[in-house]
DNA sequence: TCGCTGGTGTCACTCGGTGTCAAGATGCCC
DNA sequence: GGGCATCTTGACACCGAGTGACACCAGCGA
């Protein structure tokens, strides 16, 4: 019950923030403005989000959370390129589902340096998680073998390229198809003996 | 002459900043403190560096600037994996040269979220440059073909993995050898038909 | 009704970052 | 050497992000 109210305030805040930021630009909008639009005080904003960037980035970050789970769910014998393709497809599909809102968020992030920076930092954490999961799958030691970290990095590189292309095309290109094409390029390295 | 003085102040500032930040931690040191240690005012600090992160990140960023040039200098017929290996080797060698200072900077960046974020943002710009240069080399259109961006991303992934491992080993592992091993992993995708 | 708990607004504060202006240093030409 | 233009700097005021402290007001069980 109190949980539902918290969720409601959080949603109100993100909605107000995304609306204002995408329309007016990241730098010119103040936290006071966002908080006022959501009907709360600036102090309350910071009780829900750690920073101004967070309110945007967390929207995408939630999409990335399922990636490790998506990888863990794949059968152990599967080729890494296929397993990673499915893992990356989780956030990609999520983008396709909320295409309208997701596209605006992605475009905002990619053209705002401060947001891009924070987004990439989040992604670095996903990479650590993917690395651990991959090492587990393949029975490799991530402290001696470079493969797990490189494979995770390549998968996220593919993800970034897809987002970039999707954003540049204003959503006209199909994310799933882009992902498949990107993985076709990196697969030879992922599946090498 | 005035140029030399500017350079001197800049060096003084970076030296003071790196000393204070590595010893006391990024968050607890203020700009006033750094400026005072360098014998200038806070206002002057911001005439040399755009932000608190910049004074650290620029140190590494300068190393990355030569990467595109390093790639452009390679013969056109060379396999992408070899050309990119040489391009990435430029900043890697630079790290090896100032090993003591570079190692402290890298470790500081990798363990400070705000610095990591800004560093990755810089790297995203290197990736754009590498992408353009690669597209030029191979006669590909970076707006239709995914390969240039993916190849650039993979090379930087290798670079990141090297930095990470070098940092974790406190400099005991050889960066050049790590780079060679990393490129051996990603080469199959870089050189695919 | 009392007391407890959790979310909220207000206020004061620190610090990163910027615009403005006056003062000083440098260099150049006469 | 005396002016003059240019560049750099410090001082000050200011804005916005982010934090800590505290009082306030629900709801809720005893």
Domains of chain A listed by start with CATH number: 1-49 (1.10.10.60), 52-191 (1.10.357.10)
Look at the block and give the residue holding tokens 């040039």: B69
Residue A56 CB contacts under 8 Å (≥ 6 apart), including other chains: A17, A18, A21, A26, A105, A108, A109, A115
Closest residue of chain A to B112, computed from CA coordinates = A121
If DSSP codes are grouped into helix, strand and coil, which group holds residue B28? coil
Q: How far is CA B100 from the centre of its chain?
A: 16
Angle made by CA atoms A64, A68, A73, in degrees to the nearest 5 = 125
Predicted local distance difference test score (pLDDT) of residue A80:
97
One digit per residue, pLDDT tens: chain B, 193 residues?
A: 777 888 999 999 999 999 999 999 999 999 999 999 999 999 999 999 999 999 999 988 877 888 999 999 999 999 999 999 999 999 999 988 888 899 999 999 999 999 999 999 999 999 999 999 999 999 999 999 999 999 999 999 999 999 999 999 999 999 999 999 999 999 999 999 7
Dihedral, A60, A63, A68, A71 alpha carbons, nearest 10: -130
Question: Using CA atoms, how far apart are residues B127 and B121, in angstroms rounded to an integer?
Answer: 10
Task: Verify whether the Cβ–Cβ distance A185 to B178 is below 8 Å.
Answer: no
At residue B38, what are phi and psi to the nearest 5 degrees? -90, 0
**Cα–Cα distance list, B61 to A65, B56, B67, B91, B163 (Å):** 30, 9, 10, 9, 14
At residue B53, what are phi and psi to the nearest 5 degrees? -65, -35
Q: Does A103 touch chain B (CB under 8 A)?
A: no
Question: Using CA atoms, how far apart are residues B137 and B130, in angstroms rounded to an integer?
Answer: 10
Q: What is the mean pLDDT of chain A?
A: 95
Q: Which two tokens stand for residue B34?
A: 């750094």
pLDDT-derived band at A176, boundaries 50, 70, 90: very high
Residues contacting nucleic strand C by the 7 Å CB criterion are A 2, 5-6, 9, 39-44, 47-48; B 1-2, 29-32, 42-43, 46, 50-53
Which among B120, B157, B188 is the nearest to A117, CB-wise?
B120
Predicted local distance difference test score (pLDDT) of residue B64:
80
Residue A160 has pLDDT above 90, yes or no: yes
Note the CA–C1' distance, B60 to C7, in angstroms. 45
pLDDT per residue as tens digits for the range A33-76: 999 999 999 999 999 999 999 999 998 887 788 899 999 999 99
Helix then strand then coil, in percent of chain A rounded to 5, is: 80, 0, 20
At residue A192, what are phi and psi to the nearest 5 degrees? -55, 150
Question: Using CA atoms, how far apart are residues A158 and A156, in angstroms rounded to an integer?
Answer: 5
- Strand C nucleotides below 7 A of a protein CB? 6-11, 15-20, 26-27
Q: Which two tokens stand for residue B14?
A: 């970076």
Contact by Cβ (8 Å): B107, B100? no
- Strand D nucleotides below 7 A of a protein CB? 7-12, 16-21, 28
Task: Using the CA of A48, give the nucleotide whose C1' is nearest.
Answer: C7
Helix then strand then coil, in percent of chain B rounded to 5, is: 80, 0, 20
Query: What residues of chain B lie within 8 A of the CB of A81, using their CB?
Result: none
pLDDT per residue as tens digits for the range A84-104: 999 999 999 999 888 889 999
Question: Using CA atoms, how far apart are residues A96 and A107, in angstroms rounded to an integer?
Answer: 14
Predicted local distance difference test score (pLDDT) of residue A24:
97
Nearest chain A CA: its distance from B83 CA (Å): 17
Q: Tally Cβ neighbours within 10 Å of residue A37.
A: 16
Question: Using CA atoms, how far apart are residues B81 and B5, in angstroms rounded to an integer?
Answer: 42
Predicted local distance difference test score (pLDDT) of residue B61:
80
């Amino acid at each position: 019950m109190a949980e539902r109210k918290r969720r409601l305030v959080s949603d109100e805040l993100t909605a107000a923030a995304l609306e204002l930021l995408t329309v007016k630009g990241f730098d010119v909008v103040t936290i006071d403005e966002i908080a006022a639009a959501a009907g709360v005080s600036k102090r309350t904003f910071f009780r829900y989000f750690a920073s101004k960037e967070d309110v945007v980035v967390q929207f995408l970050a939630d999409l990335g959370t399922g990636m490790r789970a998506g990888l863990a769910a794949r059968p152990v014998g599967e080729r890494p390129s296929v397993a990673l393709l499915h893992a990356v497809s989780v956030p990609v599909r999520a983008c396709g589902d909320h295409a309208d809102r997701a596209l605006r968020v992605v475009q905002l992030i990619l053209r705002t340096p401060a947001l891009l920076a924070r987004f990439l930092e989040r992604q670095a954490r996903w990479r650590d998680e993917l690395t651990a999961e991959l090492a587990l799958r393949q029975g490799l030691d991530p402290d001696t073998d470079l493969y797990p970290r490189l494979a995770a990095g390549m998968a996220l590189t593919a993800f970034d390229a897809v987002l970039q292309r999707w954003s540049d095309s204003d959503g006209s290109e199909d994310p799933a198809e882009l992902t498949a094409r990107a993985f076709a390029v990196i697969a030879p390295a992922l599946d090498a003996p």
